[in-house]
Amino acid sequence: MKRALALILTVLAAPVSAEIVVATEIIRANTIIDPGVVGLKRGDVPGVHTDLEAVIGQEARKAIYPGRPVRKADIGAPALVERNQIVTLIYNSSGLKIETEGRSLARAGEGERLRVMNLSSRSTITGTVLPNGNIQVAN
């Protein structure tokens, strides 16, 4: 009985091997990931992607070298806004809508938070990138 219990505990404690997404070629920062530069490899690494479909079409935030796992922090939505780009800031609350221009202080994709300098007041604010590249400042 003790041997059976020890065997069961050993099997349950053994690490489960899964497939992880790895780069098959150098993926340069700020490039869109296509199917030819990633593949699957057996492994168990926390914080990395396990689904190829979730990686393809995303943008590399930093260089990823062949054989290296694609970490979740290494990729993101393709950038709609470039650093220093002039963007439209939108404030929309309780029937009041204000639009003005701002300068982005970083690159960002749809749904990401972005710091922007309001060109009228020279103050720095944070907003969310909309699908059209405008920045929603408040709701």
Whether 22 is in a domain gets the answer yes
pLDDT tens column, 14-26: 455 689 999 999 9
Whether 104 is in a domain gets the answer yes
pLDDT tens column, 116-130: 999 999 999 999 999
pLDDT score, position 2:
58
Measuring CA to CA, which residue among 61, 19, 55 is closest to residue 35?
A: 55
Question: Which pTM does this prediction carry?
Answer: 0.67
Q: Which amino acid is at 79?
A: A
Whether 26 is in a domain gets the answer yes
| Residues linked to residue 75 through DSSP beta bridges, in sequence order | 60
CA distance 39 to 108: 26
pLDDT tens column, 57-107: 999 999 999 999 999 999 988 999 999 999 999 999 888 999 999 999 999
Q: How many domains does the chain have?
A: 2
CA distance 74 to 132: 24
pLDDT score, position 10:
54
Out of 44, 76, 108, a domain closes at 76
What does the pLDDT average to over 31-55?
93
The string of DSSP letters for 93-132 reads ETTEEEEEEEEESS-EETT-EEEEEETTT--EEEEEE-TT
Rg of the chain (C-alpha set): 22
Q: Between residues 18 and 109, which one has the greater pLDDT?
A: 109
Whether 5 is in a domain gets the answer no
